[in-house]
Amino acid sequence: MKILLAITLFAGATCFAADSGDALSEPKTFLKIVTAIESSKISELTSSKDEHGTSYHLRRAEFLGTVRRDGRTYTIAHAVFIRSSPLGQDTPPPRGHDFIVVLDPKFNICGVGRTTFGEYYMKGERLYFGAYDDNNKPCADFGSTAAFTRYRGYIEIGLEYPFPDRISEENWQTGAFLKSLSVEDKKSGLYPKQ
């Protein structure tokens, strides 16, 4: 029975991995996402149990899509963890914690943002919150190389910029980043001409 349940859960979970509709270079993407999350040693992303019988565990993981940056493919996932009530008690009630997780091409976690509880989806390189709707505004545009995004990250989802072209605090303060402005930034008129 346990084996049948595990197969059913895994089969259902792999359906999430196919939701993007794109062919995957790594067909075991979902399995690699869950493995990376659970083995990350990041406390918020690691299932555990305390001495009171309260468990903190991965309830759901979802493959949202991929982003190509500088010839590399990054995987974007949504993870939901639950902190249970203590064994045999109703209080405190279970609580959920949502995260957007960015994995590098080797499926190592390179970015984590704690997010609002709910559903997320991607269209192209943009992340959206809520039910699928053509009128939704993105909460993150992973394709953008705007200087402010490269410096501050994706504020709406609490995610620091996870890609190698991140602008450090020092480069921001000294203005060194101005030498490598994107075409998008140059057109914006927000920064002095170089």
What angle (nearest 5°) sits at the alpha carbon of residue 99, between those of residues 94 and 104?
Answer: 145
Range of the domain at 112: 2-186
- In a domain, residue 194? The reply is no
- pLDDT tens for the chain, 194 residues: list them: 344 334 334 434 333 333 455 666 777 898 999 999 999 999 888 888 888 778 888 899 999 999 998 899 999 999 998 888 777 777 776 778 899 999 999 999 999 999 877 889 999 999 999 877 777 889 999 998 889 999 999 999 999 999 999 999 998 988 888 888 888 788 887 777 65
How far is it, in rounded angstroms, from Cα 69 to Cα 137? 22
Q: Helix axis angle, 29-38 relative to 2-18, nearest 10°?
A: 110
- In a domain, residue 192? The reply is no
- In a domain, residue 98? The reply is yes
- In a domain, residue 34? The reply is yes
The secondary structure of residue 155, as a DSSP letter, is: G
Tokens of residue 53, six digits: 């019988």
Name the pTM for this structure.
0.79
- In a domain, residue 85? The reply is yes
Helices (H) then strands (E): counts for the chain? 5, 8
Total structural domains in the chain? 1
- In a domain, residue 191? The reply is no
- In a domain, residue 115? The reply is yes
Q: Which residues contact residue 42 at a Cβ distance below 8 angstroms, ignoring those fewer than 6 apart?
A: 109, 112
- In a domain, residue 121? The reply is yes
